[in-house]
Amino acid sequence: MAVESKPLETVLPAAHVEEDPREHLMFDPRPREEMNRMIMEAMTTTSRRYWAWVIGLALVVLICLFGAWGNMILTGMGLAGIRRPVFWGLFIVTFVFWIGISHAGTFVSAILRVFKAEFRRPFTRASELMTTFGLAAGALFPLIHLGRVWVFYWMIPYPNARWLWPNFRSPLVWDFLAITTYLLSSTIYLYLPLVPDLAMARDRTTGWRHTLYRLLALGWRGTEAEWHRLRRAITIFAFAIIPVMFSVHTIVSWDFAVGVVAGWHSTIFGPYFIIGAILSGVAAVVSILFVLRSTMQHMDYFIRKEHFDALGKLLLVFSMAWAYFFFNDYLLTWYGGEEAARRILTLHATGPAAWVWYLMLICNVLIPWLTLWNRTIRRTPWAMFIITLLINVGMYAERYTIIPLTLGHQRMPFDWGVYTPRPTEISIVIGTFALFLLLYLLASRLIPLVPVWEVQEGQMAHTLRRVGKAEVPSVTELE
Amino acid sequence: MGANVVHLALFKETEIDHAAEAISRLHALGVSDHDISVISGIPYSERILGRPMAWTTVGRIGLAGAVVGFLVAVFLSFGTPLLYPIRVAAMPFQPIPTSIVVIFELTMLGLLISTFIGVFVETISPSFGPRGYHPKVSDGHIGILFSSPAQIEEDIHAALRALGAEIVHNVEEERLWP
């Protein structure tokens, strides 16, 4: 049988449109001077709309957070809806939510830094700020939940008036130590890579800003020794803060899991909480990046569709991991057949607040799985903004399901009850959201939100190399 | 021989090869590594510029802090029950599993805080190289600070200018922001 030869061009695949590598920030360098100018303009430009937001949020913080909290301190905890059998309500739900959000900075900055994921460079600081402010908002809730906040220092490990030391076996002391450690270390981790950018700001400002940046820059000049010790410190922090991050949310999960409460006493709660925290944290980073890109000058140069795309892929993976842990927890509890736990599962899915449970599954699983596989959606910032907001709604619903909806139906049916959040609690929760946004808004005009030196370092390491007829992206190891 | 004078040679970061060559020429003209300091807006490894390895004690300070944190945690977990014993039926007096949590957190806290203190202490500790700065460094320039005897100043300037350097005098830090 004769073999018929075909002309070469007919067997070649149709030419496809390739993405221009210059669409990526790392392959689209601009002079350092110009990048500095862009960041300084973004930082020092304020509009009337900005100040309107600042004043509005400050009022919300004043009235909803401090007003309602002050009223609760004066009147008593009866203003909150927490009462037998549900003693952990919206305060603890929101506490867990904020601690979860705070995992964003460490994940994006430390883990991606350790793995040298280059796309992280322009938004590490934006996410580290989320960690610090998320923890600040979250750390308020143990104080609010205390009721008698004026004796908060009883949580600090020192002997009290009767010379008794705090019980270090208590998960509440673990919480105190873990949150303090994480808050301090994440604040320092935010500050260290900021020093060279503060020096840059010092060189370009006058007046009070110059004084502030000069003070904070610690006399930074950028000598070899300074860079060497800064990099060493950042490396130590990047590696050390990862287990601290894991420990924080694990300890938060142990607040629940160490109790012999049906629905809580689970060995998988630690990793289940961590994966949920990373899912909600990364989702919040995407939401914040969209807002920064839409509202601040020049941010569209630094924060690009490629970043939404990369974070979207991560979100899809974390959503799948969350679903895996959720199913693992659900299946074993259901299969075990313990009466109290089985009733709780039934209640979650069919009880009067079942919509919260379904909302959790829809927002955390269905929506990400239906959308984030699609590259076009991942590269559409406003779509990502909506999806990530919904993921965080889902994560809030998850915490609500785990805490008050589980506590209200324990082993003694005569002691069942339904928890309904009261206006004071809702007001305080709204107040902490406003506090987070207000702190972020103020910080956005005080510190460079993009680590310019890290971006420039990345751009110097990335080049386009011609291989045959194609220009191929290549990365050089400069360290 | 007259007193040493501090100068700064500025190169654009795109001309990093020239900066590396300038350091070699300074060596050839008799300026030692001790009298040279490189300042830049982004970190360059020592081998890129042909400089001796920088040295830091930040890691050791961090380690010492971790040990202190560990000891504090051991005291809180195991020492305080001994100082002020409260015996509760069916409860272990010095439980190890719950103490691990406290030990881990305080060890990490000691490590991280002391690492930061290490950076701070080294930053404010005296520097023995030539000191100086120019705001152009954070605008994408590499600065080579060097101190040299006044007699060979002209030779050095000529050699560096040939490589495209911008020579800046009076770069002492205290004059920058009065």
Report residue A349 as tokens: 């899915």
Q: What integer pLDDT is reported at residue B126 of this predicted model?
A: 59
Most confident of A137-141, A171-175, B64-68, B91-95: B64-68
Q: Is A473 on the interface with B (CB under 8 A)?
A: no
Higher-scoring residue by pLDDT: A425, B92: A425
Give me A30's structure tokens: 């601009």
Is residue A164 less than 8 Å (CB to CB) from chain B? yes
B178 has a pLDDT exceeding 90: no
Partner B contacted by A30 (CB < 8 A):
no
Answer yes or no: do B84 and A174 touch at CB < 8 A: no
Contact A181 B138 (CB under 8 A): no
Kindly report the backbone phi and psi dihedral angles of residue B117, in degrees, each rounded to the nearest multiple of 5, phi listed first. -60, -40
What's the pLDDT band for A312 if we cut at 50, 70, 90?
very high
Query: Cα–chain-centroid distance for residue B68?
Result: 23
User: Environment class of residue B89 by beta-carbon count within 10 Å: exposed (0-12), middle (13-18) or buried (19+)?
Assistant: exposed
Output the six-digit token pair for A307: 């970043």
Interface contact A181-B112, CB threshold 8 A: yes
Confidence of residue B82 (pLDDT cuts 50, 70, 90): confident
- For residues A451 and A453, what is the distance between their CA atoms, to the nearest angstrom? 6
**Domain CATH for A443:** 1.20.1630.10
Lowest mean pLDDT among A85-94, A157-166, B23-32: A157-166
pLDDT digits (tens, 9 = 90+) for B42-77: 888 888 888 887 778 889 999 999 999 999 999 988
| A231:B40 CB<8 A | no
Asked if the model's pLDDT at residue A398 lies above 90, the reply is yes
Q: Evaluate if residue B1 carries a pLDDT over 60.
A: no
* Per-residue pLDDT reduced to its tens digit, A25-52: 999 999 999 999 999 999 998 899 999 9
Number of domains in chain A: 1
- Predicted confidence at residue A412, as pLDDT, reads 86
pLDDT of residue B172: 60
pLDDT value of position B4: 65
Nearest chain B CA: its distance from A229 CA (Å) = 6
Instruction: Select from B54, B86, B95 the Cβ nearest to the Cβ of A224.
Output: B54
| Residue A6 phi, psi dihedral angles, 5° rounding | -100, 150
Angle subtended at Cα A384 by Cα A383 and Cα A389, rounded to the nearest 5 degrees: 105
Least confident window among A4-8, A104-108, A146-150, A426-430: A4-8
pLDDT at residue A71 is higher than 60: yes
Find the mean pLDDT for residues A183-194.
92
Residues of B in contact with A457 (CB under 8 A): 42-43
Q: Are B49 and B19 in contact (CB under 8 A)?
A: yes
> Which residue is associated with the tokens 């399901």?
A401
Smallest CA–CA distance from B140 into chain A, residue? A32
Instruction: Give the pLDDT confidence score for residue A321 in this predicted structure.
Output: 97
pLDDT for residue A1 is more than 80: no
Judging by beta carbons within 10 Å of its beta carbon (0-12, 13-18, 19+), is residue A111 exposed, middle or buried?
Answer: middle
**C-alpha atoms less than 13 angstroms from C-alpha of A161 in its C-beta half-sphere:** 2
Share of chain B above pLDDT 90, in %: 22
- Cα separation, B25 vs B18, whole angstroms: 10
Q: Chain-wide mean pLDDT for chain A? A: 90
Q: Cα(A137)–Cα(B133) distance, rounded to whole angstroms? A: 40
Reply yes or no on whether the pLDDT at A121 is more than 70: yes
With an 8 Å Cβ cutoff, are A457 and B43 in contact?
Answer: yes
Inform me whether the pLDDT recorded for B20 exceeds 80: yes
For A212-239, the DSSP string reads HHHHHTTT---BHHHHHHHHHHHHHHHH
Question: Is residue B174 scored above 50 in pLDDT?
Answer: no
Residue type, A240: A
Identify the architecture of domain B4-52+129-175 in CATH. 2-Layer Sandwich (3.30)
- Establish if A276 belongs to a structural domain: yes
Mean predicted lDDT score pLDDT of chain B = 83
- Range of lowest pLDDT (A344-358, B1-15, B89-103, B146-160): B1-15
3-state secondary structure of B142: strand
Q: Is the pLDDT of residue A21 over 80?
A: no
**pLDDT over threshold 60, residue A304:** yes
**Domain containing residue A147:** 48-155+165-475
Helices (H) and strands (E) in chain B, counts: 6, 4
- Chain B residues in contact with A456 by the CB 8 A cut-off are 41-42, 140
Q: Which pLDDT score, from 0 to 100, does residue A57 have?
A: 97
* Tens digit of each residue's pLDDT (9 = 90 or more) over A233-249: 999 999 999 999 999 98
In the prediction, which pLDDT does A449 show?
93
Residue in B80, B108, B116 closest to A233 by CB: B116
* A38 vs B contacts (CB less than 8 Å): none
CB contact under 8 A, B13 and A32: yes
Domain ranges of chain B: 4-52+129-175, 58-124
What local confidence, expressed as pLDDT, does residue A473 receive?
82
Averaged over A210-219, what is the pLDDT?
90
Kindly state whether A460 is in contact with chain B, defined as any CB-CB distance less than 8 angstroms.
yes
Which of A395, A396, A416, A391 minimizes the C-alpha distance to A406? A416
**Two structure tokens written together for A205:** 């400002």
Q: Which of residues 120-149 of B touch A (CB under 8 A)?
A: 120, 122-124, 127, 129, 132-133, 135, 137-140
Choose the most confident range, by mean pLDDT, from A13-27, A166-180, A389-403, B80-94. Answer: A389-403
Q: Does the N-terminal peptide bond of residue A85 adopt cis geometry, omega within 30 degrees of 0? A: yes
Asked if A199 is an interface residue toward chain B (Cβ–Cβ < 8 A), one would say yes
Statement: residue A362 has pLDDT above 90: yes
CA distance A246 to chain B (A): 11
Alpha-carbon span A427 to A464, nearest angstrom: 54
Residue at A188 is within a domain? yes
Helix (H, G, I), strand (E, B) or coil at B12: strand
pLDDT band at A195 (very low <50, low <70, confident <90, very high): very high
Counted across chains A and B, CB pairs separated by less than 8 A come out at 172
- Interatomic CA distance for residues A468 and A162, integer angstroms: 80
pLDDT (mean) for A133-137:
92
Cβ(A229)–Cβ(B122) below 8 Å: yes
Distances (CA, A) of A466 to A471, A473, A477, B166: 4, 9, 18, 34
